[in-house]
Amino acid sequence: MTAVNVLAVSMHRALLITGGNDSRIVVWSLVSGEMIQEIFAPGAGYISAIIWMDFDDHGESAFAFGALDGNIQIYERSNDALFEFRSTTIGHSGAVESLAWDPVHRRLASASDGLPCVWHLTPDKTLMSIISQPDKQPYIARTVHFYDNGASLLVSFLESGEIFCYSIEPWDLKWHKKVQGRIGNTALEGNFLLVSNLKDGVDKYAIPALQRVQSYSHVILHNVPLQISIARQAGLIFVGGDDGFARVFDYSSGAYRGQLEHGNRGDHIIPITSHEGCTGCTVVTGSCFNGHSNVKAWQEDNVTPPSPSAGTSPTMQLVQFAVICVLINVVMHALHSGTLSKFYLSIKDSIGLIFGPLVVAISQLSGISSGV
C-alpha cells in the first residue's frame, strides 16, 4: 500500500474509505477488515481530501473526494452495495486541500488555491457552484467547515494563520480574525475550533471571538500538517504524529492521556479520524510512508489509557527518586571515608542536601494542586 493521505468513517461505523498517493480510493469493512472495493482515478494524482455525503439517517449513501488535479468526484452506492461513479467537477486549479458536507442544505464546500468554493448537489449528483466570485487570498486555503447550522462557512489559511467566516446566502464576509501561529489543520466542535499550530501542538479557540481557551502541547519533530479528530462523548481528542504514533489528549483539561502506537519511529501518522456511536468510539490511523504504509483501527478500550494511580503520582515518584539518591550518596561516602564518624556525617549531610530542596518542592507541588 502506498502512502495513506486521507480517511473517513461512515455514519454507522460499518465502512472506511481511504485515499492515497496512487490515485486509488479503497472501501473497507470496519467489521471484518476486508477490502470491499477499489476505485482507481487515473490522471487525478494523489488523493488529498475525502468525505462521506449522507443524504439520510441510513448513511453510507455516497462520498466525494478531491485530488491533485483540483477536480471533485462523486460516487454513490448502487443496489449491489458497491459505489458507482456519478460526476466529476472541475473545482480548482490545484490540489483540493479540504472538503466539508452540509446534509441540511445538501451542500459541499471545498478549499484550494487560496479560495473556498461552495457547491449545491443537484438531483443527478452533479455539483453547481453557488459562489459567483469567491475571494482569493495569497495563501493556501487549508480547511473549510460549515458553521452555524450550515448558514456560514469557516475557511482557514496556512501561512497567515487567518480564519475567515462567510455567510453563504448571500455570500458575504462576516468576520476575519487571526490565530497565534500558522494553521496546519483544524477540527470544528460546536463553537470551538481546534488548530494544529505547526509549532508546539494544538490550540482550542472559542468562536466567533477566536479567543484561545486551551492548548494540547506536544513535541513536533517534522513540520507536517497533522490531522485532528474529536471524540466529544469520550472526552478525547486525537492528533496525528510524526514519529510512529498518534497522541491522545483529554478534551477538557488538555492533559496528555497516551499514544496509539502505529508504526516505526520516524513514520508520519498524519491521517487520523474518529467516530462515535451507541457502542463506543472508533479511531482509525494511517501512515504516510511509501513501502510500508498501512491503516489501523482502534476501539474505545484501546484508545483510553488508564489514569495513573496515586502510588505513581509525580510527587511519589520524586520521593522515591530522592530516597535512592540518598542511599547511593551515603554508600559512596562511607566507602571513601573508612570511618564510622565520617559515615555518620555523610548521612547527615546527604539528608540535608537531598531532602531540604525536596521538602520545598513537595510544598510547592501541594500548593499548586490545592489551587486548581
pLDDT tens by residue, 162-189: 999 999 999 999 999 999 999 999 999 9
Find the mean pLDDT for residues 288-302: 74
Tens digit of each residue's pLDDT (9 = 90 or more) over 121-168: 999 999 999 987 777 899 999 999 999 999 999 999 999 999 999 999
pLDDT at 357 over 90: no
Statement to judge: residues 276 and 327 lie in one domain? no
Domain stops at, among 303, 326, 359: 303
What is the band of 321 on the pLDDT scale with cuts at 50, 70, 90? low
Percent helix, strand and coil across the chain, each to the nearest 5: 15, 45, 40
CA 225 to chain centroid, in Å, comes to: 9
* Helix (H) or strand (E) run with residue 35 in it: strand 35-40
Statement to judge: residues 238 and 364 lie in one domain? no
Statement to judge: residues 230 and 344 lie in one domain? no
Statement to judge: residues 103 and 177 lie in one domain? yes
The full length of the chain comes to 372
Statement to judge: residues 120 and 230 lie in one domain? yes
DSSP code per residue over 129-181: E--SS----SS-EEEEEEETTTTEEEEEETTT-EEEEEETTTTEEEEEEE-SS
Number of domains observed in the structure of the chain: 2
Residue 25 near residue 39, CB atoms below 8 Å? yes
Residue 25 near residue 47, CB atoms below 8 Å? yes
Find the mean pLDDT for residues 104-119: 94
Cβ-based neighbour number of residue 327 at 10 Å: 11
Decide which of 94 and 302 is more confident. Answer: 94
What is the band of 310 on the pLDDT scale with cuts at 50, 70, 90? very low
* 327: containing domain: 310-371
Q: What angle, rounded to 10 degrees, do the helices at 314-337 and 340-371 form?
A: 170
- For the record, the C-alpha cell of 208 comes out as 466567533
pLDDT at residue 370, as a whole number: 37
Tens digit of each residue's pLDDT (9 = 90 or more) over 15-48: 999 999 999 999 999 988 899 999 999 889 999 9
User: For the whole model, what pTM was predicted?
Assistant: 0.80
63 vs 108: CA distance, rounded Å: 11
Please report, for residues 3, 269, 288, 342, the alpha-carbon distance to residue 143 in angstroms, rounded to integers and kept in the order given.
21, 19, 20, 69
Statement to judge: residues 171 and 318 lie in one domain? no
